A and B are shown apart, each in its own frame.
Chain A
Amino acid sequence: MEKFTTHTGIGVPLRRSNVDTDQIIPAVYLKRVSRTGFEDGLFAAWRKADDFVLNAEPFRHGSVLVAGPDFGTGSSREHAVWALMDYGFRVVISSRFADIFRGNSGKQGLLTAQVSQDDVELLWKHLENNPGAEVTVDLTAKTVTADHIVCAFEVDEYTRWRLLEGLDDIGLTLSHVEDVDAFEAGRPSHKPTTTLR
């Protein structure tokens, strides 16, 4: 995974709450078996409408998405994160994220920056009044900056450390494989296996 310290890019105001993962990428786009190329499915239904924000210049080149509360609810599909990243997004700012989506993002290096809904409103207004305005997200300082607006964001400390260091989760766990061996040795014998009887 690439290290994430700061990112600056065009901010995209998405004036929606409850952006579920079926909206981020509809099921019909989940059929690939590869890890790339999911950008065509991103917000596929909404992108059919001419007035959707990503259909307008300069927002189509955005890399920092600013959305309302409960972003990423619903299906666990990690394809939602891949679609956002394949499109070019590096940061999603929202006042509340769904658990599974936030976890998936952390694994892939997509930063989910949680700010207050008041800050989301401020950013929405600023980005709508200044299309193409850049937003800087500093993971070291945990701040979002857009012109005169500076706000702090929340991210869990462990995820922050992993993103800053660019660490691979599986490699980290396998460095403690002796703990897994020891745990397995003590599991109750009545626990089932999937082996056919």
Chain B
Amino acid sequence: MGRTLAEKVWEQHVVRRVDGEPDLIYIDLHLLHEVTSPQAFEGLRLAGRDVRRPDLTLATEDHNVPTTPGPITDPVSRTQVETLRSNCEEFGIRLHPMGDAEQGIVHVVGPQLGLTQPGMTVVCGDSHTSTHGAFGALAFGIGTSEVEHVLATQTLSLRPFKTMAITVRGELQPGVTAKDVILAVIAKIGTGGGQGYVLEYRGEAIESLSMEARMTVCNMSIEAGARAGMIAPDETTFEYLRGRDHAPQGADWEAALADWRELRTDDDAVFDAEVVIDAAELTPFVTWGTNPGQGAPLAEAVPDPEAMGDDTAKAAARSALEYMGLTAGTPLRAIAVDTVFVGSCTNGRIEDLRAAAEVIKGRRVAEGVRMLVVPGSARVRLQAEAEGLDRTFAEAGAEWRLPGCSMCLGMNPDTLAPGERSASTSNRNFEGRQGTGGRTHLVSPLVAAATAVRGTLSSPADLDPMPTGRAAQAQSA
């Protein structure tokens, strides 16, 4: 019987297999950041252990860093970042600190350096490590004990996952993006629907996505409870990698290509579960609740908890609406926001910024709305500035920031005030995620930009047409 992509990558990394025990799996790339690593290094020191493969390890500062110029003012945040620096120095690990040309969110940095490649195993003490699955890598988040385990041994003791195919058939309509696809997937299978599975996204709609869009899809696999998400590598993948800093070169490139072309699910392979979605039915999607599965098409209304399936879902929806300050039946388009956030490891790459800029160009952020645009890495920031996107955002009244995790999580100065409502291109709408009492609606970059202009949840199709010709000249004069 044939094997799935996930099974092939797994089999290539088995170091030791004994009946009744988990497999010992080799890790090709270990990414570190300041939040989940200090206790792991402390554990190594206490046990007198060294880092086995510093040359397969890379660290960056992202969660705590402020996105406005200047040093970290919060002393506890500063200690955490300084601890990462001293740990990397002590154990000989490459680090891209704040201000460095390669600094950024760990899941943006790995791929742009060409370090994430098909068929690899990639781990990081961060659940959004699933992002790297877009390259056909088996990539997943781990806890701090596992970070210590990988530092010491370059392996992890793991049980095989189950496999689930998520097939998105047909063609996406214009204005429907990767973010809408993944939000619809999570709404369909639920936040626990992927539990125990590696998801493989397939079908024409997935194949037609760019690498950056594929990363958006795989990034949020964890929000469906899945351990990882993957997409089989193809010409799009190879073209993205060709010539990147750490991509194979010369004869190694040819050898790598030959290996990578084998990384596809065999025709006769059997998945443990399958979900099929028709791309033509997808429209811009937003969340209304306090977990990423509580979402709906933008054209719909806040749902009625009493119409939900079981008692658990009813109770969860009731408490979500209470927290979000929403009433069942309110059209989603009528929900007014205070803040719009474009950024994060989900939607902080150059294509995301281009998409948002395209919508906002020549328009203004609505009165009373704050819009933050935060590039995912220093490279993304430089690229965006070279293209003039920073000016487009600034002219519209948005704030152009320095790279970091920013408002995706309330760990740095970018937070929502209690009761404030955001449209956010990030990945989690949990209670308090963006700041205590903050209310989050997850959206795509296109919806974020349109929402900033109108002040209520909107898609670009809701915007008045751009003034053209003489009218435009008159208006700008």
User: A residues near B, CB below 8 A?
Assistant: 15-18, 20, 22-23, 26-28, 30-35, 45, 68-70, 73-79, 81, 96, 98-100, 103-104, 107-108, 117, 156-158, 169-170, 172-174, 176-177, 179-180, 183-184, 187-197
A179–B141 CB distance below 8 A = no
Query: Which of these, B52, B191, B196, B428, contacts A22 with CB under 8 Å?
Result: B428
Given contacts A73-B225, A180-B154, A192-B115, contact A99 B24 (CB under 8 A): no
Given contacts A30-B35, A189-B255, contact A156 B291 (CB under 8 A): no
A158–B127 CB distance below 8 A = no
B83 CB within 8 Å of chain A = yes
CA distance A11 to B447 in the complex (A): 45
Chain A residue nearest to B148 (CB atoms) is A170
B409 CB within 8 Å of chain A = yes
Given contacts A78-B145, A190-B248, contact A73 B36 (CB under 8 A): no
A34–B77 CB distance below 8 A = no
B16–A176 CB distance below 8 A = yes
Q: Which of B126-149 contact A (CB under 8 A)?
A: 126-127, 141-146, 148-149
Given contacts A76-B36, A76-B127, A180-B26, contact A98 B195 (CB under 8 A): yes
User: What residues on A are CB-neighbors of B63 within 8 Å?
Assistant: 27
Q: Which of B406-443 contact A (CB under 8 A)?
A: 409-411, 428, 430-433, 436
CA distance A69 to B223 in the complex (A): 15
B159 CB within 8 Å of chain A = yes
B467 CB within 8 Å of chain A = no
CA distance A98 to B224 in the complex (A): 10
B112 CB within 8 Å of chain A = no
B126–A76 CB distance below 8 A = yes
A117 to chain B, nearest CB (A): 8
B191–A18 CB distance below 8 A = yes
User: What residues on B are CB-neighbors of A197 within 8 Å?
Assistant: 245-246
CA distance A74 to B117 in the complex (A): 25
Given contacts A70-B225, A189-B252, A195-B94, contact A18 B55 (CB under 8 A): no
CA distance A16 to B317 in the complex (A): 11
A176–B252 CB distance below 8 A = no
A99 to chain B, nearest CB (A): 5
A77–B36 CB distance below 8 A = yes
User: What residues on A are CB-neighbors of B42 within 8 Å?
Assistant: 33-35
Chain B residue nearest to A174 (CB atoms) is B153
User: What residues on A are CB-neighbors of B16 within 8 Å?
Assistant: 176, 179
B69 CB within 8 Å of chain A = no
Query: Which of these, A26, A34, A174, contacts B39 with CB under 8 Å?
Result: A34
A174–B291 CB distance below 8 A = no
A96–B192 CB distance below 8 A = yes
Q: Which of B75-125 contact A (CB under 8 A)?
A: 76-77, 79-80, 83, 94, 114-115, 117, 120, 125
CA distance A170 to B143 in the complex (A): 14
Encode contact with A along B192-232: 1 for CB under 8 Å, 0 otherwise: 10011000000000000000000000000011010100000
B189 CB within 8 Å of chain A = no
CA distance A196 to B113 in the complex (A): 11
User: What residues on B are CB-neighbors of A156 within 8 Å?
Assistant: 159
Q: Supply 17 A–B pairs (Cβ within 8 Å), ascending by A.
A: A17-B315, A20-B430, A22-B433, A31-B35, A74-B223, A100-B142, A107-B143, A156-B159, A170-B152, A176-B15, A177-B153, A180-B15, A188-B256, A190-B252, A193-B55, A193-B56, A194-B29
Q: Which of B244-265 contact A (CB under 8 A)?
A: 245-248, 252-253, 255-256, 259
User: What residues on B are CB-neighbors of A15 within 8 Å?
Assistant: 315
Query: Which of these, B117, B143, B411, contacts A104 with CB under 8 Å?
Result: B143
B389 to chain A, nearest CB (A): 28
B36 to chain A, nearest CB (A): 7
B143 to chain A, nearest CB (A): 4
Query: Which of these, A23, A31, A177, contacts B76 with CB under 8 Å?
Result: A31
B22 CB within 8 Å of chain A = yes
CA distance A174 to B49 in the complex (A): 10
B94–A173 CB distance below 8 A = no
B399 to chain A, nearest CB (A): 21
B53 to chain A, nearest CB (A): 8
User: What residues on B are CB-neighbors of A180 within 8 Å?
Assistant: 15, 24, 26, 52, 153-155
B291–A194 CB distance below 8 A = no
B64 CB within 8 Å of chain A = yes
User: What residues on A are CB-neighbors of B322 within 8 Å?
Assistant: none
CA distance A17 to B149 in the complex (A): 31
Chain A residue nearest to B129 (CB atoms) is A76
Besides the known contacts A170-B148, A173-B157, A194-B94, 19 further A-B residue pairs in the complex with CB atoms under 8 A apart: A15-B315, A17-B312, A27-B433, A30-B411, A31-B76, A33-B80, A78-B36, A81-B143, A99-B227, A104-B144, A158-B20, A158-B22, A180-B24, A184-B26, A188-B259, A191-B117, A194-B54, A194-B246, A197-B246
B380 CB within 8 Å of chain A = no
CA distance A32 to B78 in the complex (A): 10
Query: Which of these, A26, A31, A81, A190, contacts B255 with CB under 8 Å?
Result: A190
B87 to chain A, nearest CB (A): 9
B58 CB within 8 Å of chain A = yes
Instruction: Pick from A45, A68, A98 the residue with the most CB of B within 10 Å.
Output: A98
CA distance A107 to B150 in the complex (A): 14
A83 to chain B, nearest CB (A): 13
B143–A31 CB distance below 8 A = no
User: What residues on A are CB-neighbors of B195 within 8 Å?
Assistant: 70, 96, 98-99
Chain B residue nearest to A181 (CB atoms) is B15
Given contacts A170-B149, A179-B16, contact A191 B192 (CB under 8 A): no
CA distance A3 to B58 in the complex (A): 35
CA distance A197 to B315 in the complex (A): 55
B38 CB within 8 Å of chain A = yes
A33–B252 CB distance below 8 A = no
B93 to chain A, nearest CB (A): 8
